[in-house]
Amino acid sequence: MPGKAKILTAKEISDIFRVLRQPRDKAIFALGIYAGLRIGEIIALKTDQLFTKGGGVRNVLKVIRLKKKNTVYSEIPVHPKLRDRLQEYYKNSSPGHWLFPSEDSATGHLERVRAHYILRDAFDRLRLQDASTHSMRRTCLTNMSRAGVPLRTIQDISGHASLSELQEYLAVDQADKHRAINLLRY
């Protein structure tokens, strides 16, 4: 689909996890692929949004999205594979206030461009054309849709203001059309 970020296959997701070297980088990718977060939302997460004071991973990630006209709150259950990546990251680092701190940044957390380059390097090493940081979000939301998750539920997770906005994210391909037609049982 020209102009849209690539929807990643299960093999490509596995390959990306394999080529990412640091637990931090794997946690960043996992937050995109298992929670559908934008890269800007990922880097701005605070440690207490995902971890208890004792260092355990919370069951639900609470995301606050500031929109033009209102604030959108999303409560996203933490996928077991995301939990594993976060636990690995936490035991190998010492995040403070920010989940992904950076002493080199004016914000105190990893900058968007740095996170972009980390993931871009993995995509390039795997020669994934049209893959971008937005591929994580599109892949997550499209796969939920393909699995039959109601659009209102996906909208609540993604924080889209309307179903029409959400539908712009979702990919439809020939296999989706074949599955739809083959569901007819009359």
Query: What percentage of the chain's residues is helix, strand, coil (to nearest 5)?
Result: 50, 10, 40
Band (2; pLDDT cuts 50, 70, 90): very low
Could you give the number of structural domains in the chain?
1
Distance CA 11, CA 140 (A): 14
- Residue 3 in domain: no
- Residue 2 in domain: no
- Residue 4 in domain: no
User: What CATH number has the domain bearing residue 178?
Assistant: 1.10.443.10
Q: Is residue 35 packed enough to be buried (19+ CB in 10 Å), middle (13-18) or exposed (0-12)?
A: buried
- Residue 5 in domain: no
Q: Which domain holds residue 46?
A: 10-182
Give the pLDDT of residue 3: 59
- 22-78 residue pLDDT tens: 999 999 999 999 999 999 999 999 999 999 988 899 999 999 887 666 777 889 999
Give the pLDDT of residue 32: 97
CA dihedral 27, 63, 77, 173 (to 10 degrees): -80
- 150-181 residue pLDDT tens: 999 999 899 888 888 888 878 888 887 878 88
The two tokens of residue 37 are 């977060």
Task: Mean pLDDT check: name the lowest of 97-111, 117-131, 158-172.
Answer: 158-172
- Give the mean model confidence (pLDDT) for residues 123-131: 96
- Residue 103 in domain: yes
- Residue 139 in domain: yes
Residue 15 to residues 65, 78, 125: CA-CA distances in angstroms? 31, 22, 10
